[in-house]
Amino acid sequence: MGDEQNDSDSKSNRISDLEHESGNADTPEAVAADSRLAEIEKRLEAKTEECKMLHDKYLRLAAEFDNYKRVTQREQREQIKFGNEQLLKELLPTLDNMERAIKAARDNKTAGHDALVQGVELTLKQLVGTLSRFGVQAIETVGQAFDPTAHQAVSHVPSDSVPQDHVIDEFQKGYRLHDRILRAAMVSVSAGPVKTDEQHSTIH
């Protein structure tokens, strides 16, 4: 009987302790702990947002650096590809003069100058070959459709044999350096068939 009484008292004490602890849930210490927890969670959320912003900034900087690297590499390739452009352009008048000298010699048919003409032709051929190895190529003109990016029209001539807006004759050769116009060709362009006077074409 005494043991049962002791067990009953022990259970009552535990229930009382739990009720006491439950009653102390809103104590200043508990409120302070909740406040600290809320502050920690707020700081954690702020740090998480900061990390996200820094990660996004890193991704943007990485993308900008990749773009900068591609632009720099392209500029370097362009520099290598067109670095001799001015020098090659300065050589073109020399090429023109050699071609004119050969043409003049052949037109005059001066006796005893065949060997000299052949020598100049060989030199011209070597020079053209050297220029071609650096990417210089002559622009096609006669019979081609007029291209304002590659041809410079110095005259328009009526023609029954050459279609309108096609090149009839070439006055000065043009050249490309790879895909860039080094010098436009000076050409004569067809204005189309000769137009007859309507008054003469009218049957009286």
- pLDDT tens for 42-82 read 888 888 888 999 999 999 998 998 898 888 888 888 887 88
Specify the pLDDT at position 11.
55
Specify the pLDDT at position 114.
74
Specify the pLDDT at position 17.
56
* Residue 118 φ then ψ, to 5°: -60, -40
134-161 pLDDT, tens digit per residue, is 889 999 999 999 999 999 999 999 988 8
Residue 190 φ/ψ region, left for φ over 0, alpha for ψ in the -120 to 50 degree band, beta for the rest: beta
Is residue 197 scored above 80 in pLDDT? no
Low-confidence winner among 65-74, 86-95, 182-191, 193-202 (lowest mean pLDDT)? 193-202
Q: What percent of the chain has pLDDT over 90?
A: 23
Using CB atoms within 10 Å of the CB of residue 113, give its burial: 0 to 12 exposed, 13 to 18 middle, 19+ buried: middle
Q: What are the angstrom distances between the C-alpha of 60 and each of 46, 50, 53, 54?
A: 21, 15, 11, 10
Q: In angstroms, rounded to a whole number, what is the distance separating the alpha carbons of residues 16 and 4? A: 18
Specify the pLDDT at position 170.
93
The strand pair at 185-190 and 151-157 is best described as parallel
Buried b (16+ CB within 10 A) or exposed e, 35-51: eeeeeeeeeeeeeeeee
Query: In the structure encoding, which two tokens stand for residue 180, read together?
Result: 């860039």
Q: Is the pTM of this model over 0.95?
A: no
Q: Rounded to the nearest 10 degrees, how much is the dihedral formed by the CA atoms of 118, 123, 128, 134?
A: 160
Cα 182 → chain centroid:
20
**Three-class SS state of 86:** helix
